[in-house]
């Protein structure tokens, strides 16, 4: 990677870390640039505005998320149902593990930017649809294996993802793991695992 790619990626990673904790509206460009150690002129070399930066941060986030999800859900050393449960267990651990509550960029920004930026809203919408698509494919594999009864895999995937996003939001509000534990119970019931 050359210096320009490194700076671009460094800005995205710094932005992701800051936005996941503080949100989009409450963070000024100067705070991001100061944390990244990048001059303002360099920022505008890569991004035309804070909004385009926010959209790029989300796009980069979903690329990494989908790489992780695809690797997890395509691991044939486990059954499809085992891969799905591994995903939910990892979500629960990442959000409520020993390091404390870890903020999710989707949970943090969805409500905030949906009315502020159409470009960011669409990026969030498309990214979450890709996640639900990956979960759907794994559910279809579980149905084909006979681990789950024949059903509408896309509806189940959307319902499970909504359950976990809601649990993440409530966990953030309550600052405890009760809702994540509840999401796991419901997930196990729905997947009968």
Q: Tell me how crowded residue 80 is: count the other CB atoms within 10 A of its CB.
A: 22
125 located within any domain: yes
Is the separation of the CB atoms in 138 and 171 below 8 Å? no
What CATH number is attached to the domain comprising 56? 1.10.357.10
164 located within any domain: yes
| Residue range(s) defining the domain that contains residue 105 | 50-191
Q: Going residue by residue through the chain (193 aa), what tens digit of pLDDT does each one get? A: 445 468 899 999 999 999 988 999 999 999 999 999 999 888 999 999 999 999 999 999 999 999 999 999 999 899 999 999 999 999 988 877 655 556 688 888 998 998 899 999 999 999 999 999 999 999 999 999 999 999 999 999 999 999 999 999 898 888 888 999 999 999 999 998 6
* Chain centre distance of CA 189: 24
Taking CA atoms, 52 is separated from 24, 47, 123, in Å, by: 12, 6, 11
149 located within any domain: yes
Q: Which two tokens stand for residue 143?
A: 């149905």
Q: How many domains does the chain have?
A: 1
4 located within any domain: no
154 located within any domain: yes
Q: Tell me how crowded residue 15 is: count the other CB atoms within 10 A of its CB.
A: 27
Q: Which two tokens stand for residue 185?
A: 């119970």
């Amino acid at each position: 990677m050359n210096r320009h790619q490194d700076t671009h990626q460094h800005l995205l990673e710094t932005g992701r870390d800051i936005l996941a904790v503080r949100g989009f509206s409450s963070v000024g460009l100067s705070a991001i640039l100061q944390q990244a150690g990048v001059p303002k002129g360099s920022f505008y070399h890569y991004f035309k505005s804070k909004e385009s930066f926010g959209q790029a941060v989300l796009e980069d986030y979903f690329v990494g998320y989908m790489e992780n999800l695809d690797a997890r859900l395509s691991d044939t050393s486990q059954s499809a149902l085992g891969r799905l449960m591994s995903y939910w267990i990892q979500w629960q651990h990442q959000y409520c593990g020993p390091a404390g509550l870890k903020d999710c960029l989707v949970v943090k920004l969805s409500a905030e930017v949906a009315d502020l930026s159409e470009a960011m809203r669409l990026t969030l919408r498309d990214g979450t649809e890709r996640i639900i698509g990956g979960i759907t494919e794994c559910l279809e594999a579980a149905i084909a294996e006979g681990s789950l009864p024949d059903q509408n895999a896309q509806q189940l995937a959307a319902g499970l993802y909504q359950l976990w996003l809601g649990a993440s939001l409530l966990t953030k509000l309550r600052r405890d793991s009760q809702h994540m534990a509840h999401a796991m119970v419901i997930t196990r019931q729905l997947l009968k695992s």
